[in-house]
């Protein structure tokens, strides 16, 4: 029976094979195999520089006919180019990335690949020029590194590599230096740049230019008094000023460094925060605006009342500044100047002189034995004020003032260290004014003007929107806006130039002009890697 079954199966297979007709109609296609060269397996580049890769490839069918292919460069999960030659400004954060080139056959969609391990190094850890400005209503960063000759501005780069925008409506930009103990800094990544915008006061790493936390209500709750908890309901920072205390040979990163930061809130409250290299932040005053039955509303201005260079201490070749650790403030409710000393408020003018309806927008000590200078405005009139803090508590302490019709609250002021002069930057000119003239009633005038914007080649459509003086006091940055009344920076064209001028000699001269590198409402600073130069005796 077994033999019969086997014979039956064999017969069926033979009959099936004889019925099948092989027509021999096979359609074979040769595969176009592509070889890619010119794409290294590993590459390193500094952030904000342009990565250029020119691949060469050849197919077994099409040779080097580029029209038979499409291209796709992918960095991580994002397609960054569809051109054959890659020219990509690396705005990505520092780190290691996978870069992949796909060469795609147009006929059948087959792909050939080349993969690179791309390492992005920091180019923002050195000194540079930093600008924050608006484009189409959103704030963004522009940056120029100063450690590389002939470097180009990287314009409006932050939002190109971040899903969350930098912020909206920037109003204030500055740099601080001491961030706290190692544990705290490691947690927040360093917070050297302070940026005030609609979102509050953001802390930005001065090495990577990445956002790292904020000085906000939660910050105050984390490091402020445990009991009773101050009222932070109206706390929204709008201004910060700081004073670095530095004594040792290692000027940056030493446990001996400390910095005091005074934060003014939009509700007029004042907070005093200390940062030490040996501990986490410590808030001495938390949104202070009430002293017994007296209520204060502080203008966005606070300044040390008298600093002097410290004497050399042994091997301390980088002696810092010594201060009084007393600050002067302006109370808008009373219209008076006060000394603020750990919440101890002392009226400055012995006769109770006041400026009702005014608001202070600038103040600084002049390094001249506690001689202090300020600018106040009521919207229609601007006054300059001067007083000698060393006379505080005596009948001789007077606040002198003079009307300044050429000035307004949008102007920038920069005090010189060793002589009683201040630079004043208006919308169309730069002035150099002797602050001692306040006491004699002499206002800034045309004789104090050093240079007009028109002398730098600009027409009536341009204005100086912001400025920053280099700490060496030999040059200055001017952010020249050609946006007119457009504060949002609408459109694709960038219309703010950064102009660098020399302050040496009898008249400023042009050093560099960087055209179309930022958006509207610009804020510009020189960004420093450290508080002190390694080869300077004076660190500020």
User: Would you state the pLDDT for residue 12?
Assistant: 45
- Rounded CA-CA distance 134/126 in Å is 24
Q: Which residue has the higher pLDDT, 436 or 68?
A: 436
Whether 234 and 269 have beta carbons less than 8 Å apart is answered as yes
> What is the Cα 491 distance to its own chain's centre?
23
Query: Sheet containing 78-81: which strands, arranged edge to edge?
Result: 42-46, 111-121, 95-105, 69-75, 78-81
Q: What pLDDT digit, counting tens, does each position of 381-405 carry? A: 999 999 999 999 999 999 999 999 9
pLDDT band at residue 320 under the 50/70/90 scheme: low
Tens digit of pLDDT for each residue in 415-445?
997 789 999 999 999 999 999 999 999 999 9
Residue matched to tokens 């609609």: 198
**What's the distance, CA 475 to chain centroid?**
20
Q: Mean pLDDT score of the chain, rounded to an integer?
A: 87
Q: Identify the pLDDT of residue 494.
A: 98
Mean pLDDT of 463-471: 96
> Which residues, including other chains, have CB under 8 Å from residue 323's CB and lie 6 or more apart?
243, 245, 304, 305, 306, 307
Q: Cα(311)–Cα(318) distance, rounded to whole angstroms?
A: 10
225 three-class SS: coil
Residue 9 pLDDT > 50, yes or no?
Answer: no
CA dihedral for 248, 252, 255, 260, sign (positive or negative): positive
148 near 117, Cβ under 8 Å? no
List the structure tokens of 208: 């990577």
- Cα end-to-end span (Å), the chain: 109
pLDDT at 540: 40
Span 255-268, average pLDDT: 87
The residues, ordered by sequence, that sit 6+ positions from 2 with a Cβ below 8 Å of its Cβ are none
> Using 50, 70 and 90 to split pLDDT, how confident is the model at 538?
very low
Residue 336: pLDDT over 90: yes
Lowest mean pLDDT among 58-72, 340-354, 410-424, 478-492: 58-72
User: Given this model, what pLDDT does residue 3 score?
Assistant: 42
Task: Flag whether pLDDT at 119 surpasses 50.
Answer: yes
406 to each of 299, 337, 363, 421, 428, how far by Cα in Å? Answer: 22, 23, 18, 17, 11
What HEC string does 303-361 produce?
Answer: EECCCEECCCCCCCCCCCEECCCCEEEEECCCCEEEEEECCEEEECCCCCCCCCCCEEE
Report pLDDT for 300.
97
Q: Which H, E and C letters describe 392-404, residue by residue?
A: CCCCCCCCEEEEC
Neighbours of 3 (CB within 10 A): 7
Q: Are 481 and 443 spatial neighbours (Cβ–Cβ below 8 Å)?
A: no
3-state DSSP helix/strand/coil % of the chain, to nearest 5: 10, 45, 45
- Please count the other Cβ atoms lying within 10 Å of the Cβ belonging to residue 301: 22
The pLDDT value given to residue 164 = 93
Output DSSP code: residue 454. G
Beta carbons within 8 Å of 279's beta carbon, 6+ residues apart: 180, 181
Kindly state the tokens that stand for 344: 């101890």
Band (pLDDT 50/70/90 cuts) for residue 30 is low
DSSP 265-297: ETTS-EEEEEEETTEEEEEEEEEE-EETTEE--
Q: Which of 19-33, 86-100, 417-431, 516-530 is the least confident region? A: 19-33
Write the secondary structure of 188-199 as one string of H (helix), E (strand) and C (coil): HCCCCEEEEECC
DSSP line for 153-214: PB-S-GGGG-SS-SBSS--EEEE------HHHHHHHT---EEEEETTEEEEE-TTT--EEEE
Is 330 in contact with 301 (CB distance < 8 Å)?
yes
pLDDT tops 90 at residue 135: yes
Give the number of C-alpha atoms closer than 13 A to the C-alpha of residue 204, restricted to the C-beta side.
26
Q: Give the Cα separation of 391 and 214 in Å (integer).
A: 39
Q: What percent of the chain has pLDDT over 70?
A: 88
Apex 430 CA angle, 425 and 431, nearest 5: 95
Specify the 3-state DSSP secondary structure of 511. strand
The candidate with the shortest Cα–Cα distance to 498, out of 118, 68, 152, 99, is 152
Instruction: Say which residues have a Cβ less than 8 Å from residue 249's Cβ, sequence separation at least 6.
Output: 315, 316, 317, 318
Cα–Cα distance, 320 to 308 (Å, whole number):
9
pLDDT tier at 534, thresholds 50, 70, 90: very low
Tens-digit pLDDT profile for residues 187-223: 777 778 999 999 999 999 888 899 988 999 999 999 9
Adjacent-strand bridge partners of 273: 261, 283
**Half-sphere exposure (CA, 13 Å, Cβ side) for 78?**
11
Mean pLDDT of the region 30-57 = 86
* Residue 228, preceding peptide bond in cis (omega within 30° of 0): yes
Q: What pLDDT is recorded for position 255?
A: 57
**Does the pLDDT at position 535 exceed 60?**
no
- The pLDDT-based confidence of 299 (bands split at 50, 70, 90) is very high
Average pLDDT over residues 52-64: 82
Tokens of 500: 């660098």
**Helix spans in 340-427 (H):** none
């Amino acid at each position: 029976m077994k033999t019969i079954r086997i014979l039956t199966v064999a017969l069926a297979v033979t009959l099936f094979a004889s019925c099948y007709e092989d027509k021999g109609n096979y359609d074979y296609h040769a595969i176009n195999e592509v070889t890619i060269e010119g794409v290294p397996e590993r590459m390193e580049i500094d952030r904000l520089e342009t990565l250029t890769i020119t691949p060469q490839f050849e197919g077994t069918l099409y040779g080097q006919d580029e029209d038979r292919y499409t291209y796709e460069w992918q960095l991580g999960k994002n397609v960054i180019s569809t051109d054959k030659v890659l020219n990509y400004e690396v705005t990505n954060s520092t780190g290691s990335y996978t870069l992949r080139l796909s060469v795609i056959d147009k006929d059948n969609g087959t792909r050939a690949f080349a993969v690179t391990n791309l390492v992005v190094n920091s180019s923002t850890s050195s000194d540079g020029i930093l600008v924050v400005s608006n484009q189409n209503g959103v704030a963004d960063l522009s940056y120029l590194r100063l450690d590389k000759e002939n470097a180009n501005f990287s314009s409006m780069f932050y939002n190109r590599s971040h899903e969350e925008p930098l912020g909206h409506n920037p109003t204030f930009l500055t740099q601080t230096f001491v961030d706290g103990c190692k544990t705290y800094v490691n947690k927040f990544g360093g917070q050297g740049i302070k940026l005030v915008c609609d979102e509050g006061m953001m802390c930005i790493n001065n090495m990577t230019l990445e956002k790292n936390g904020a000085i906000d209500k939660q910050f105050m709750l984390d490091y402020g008094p445990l009991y009773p908890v101050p009222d932070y309901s109206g706390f929204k920072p709008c201004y910060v000023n700081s004073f670095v205390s530095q004594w040792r040979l290692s000027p940056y990163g030493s446990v001996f460094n400390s910095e005091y930061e005074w934060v003014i809130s939009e509700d007029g409250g004042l907070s005093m925060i200390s940062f030490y290299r040996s501990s986490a932040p410590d808030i001495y005053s938390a949104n202070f605006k009430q002293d017994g039955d007296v209520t204060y509303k502080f203008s966005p201005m606070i300044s040390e009342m008298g600093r002097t260079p410290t004497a050399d201490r042994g091997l301390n070749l980088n002696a810092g500044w010594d201060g009084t650790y007393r600050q002067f403030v302006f109370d808008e409710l009373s219209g008076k100047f006060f000394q603020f000393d750990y919440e101890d408020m002392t009226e400055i003018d012995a006769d109770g002189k006041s400026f009702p309806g005014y608001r202070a927008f600038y103040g600084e000590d002049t390094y001249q034995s506690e001689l202090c200078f300020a600018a106040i405005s009521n919207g229609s009139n601007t006054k300059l004020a001067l007083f000698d803090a060393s006379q505080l508590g005596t009948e001789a302490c007077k606040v002198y003032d003079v009307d300044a019709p050429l000035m307004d609250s949008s102007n920038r002021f920069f005090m010189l260290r060793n002589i009683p002069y201040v630079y004043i930057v208006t919308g169309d000119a730069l002035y150099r004014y002797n602050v001692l003239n306040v006491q004699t009633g002499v206002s800034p005038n045309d004789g104090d003007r050093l240079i007009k914007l028109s002398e730098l080649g600009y027409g009536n459509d341009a204005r100086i929107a912001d400025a920053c003086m280099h700490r060496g006091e030999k040059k200055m940055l001017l952010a020249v806006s050609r946006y007119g009344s457009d504060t949002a920076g609408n459109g694709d064209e960038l219309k703010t130039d950064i102009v660098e001028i020399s302050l040496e000699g009898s008249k400023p001269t042009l050093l560099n002009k960087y055209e179309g590198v930022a958006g509207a409402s610009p804020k510009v600073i020189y960004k420093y890697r450290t508080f002190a130069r390694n080869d300077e005796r004076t660190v500020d």
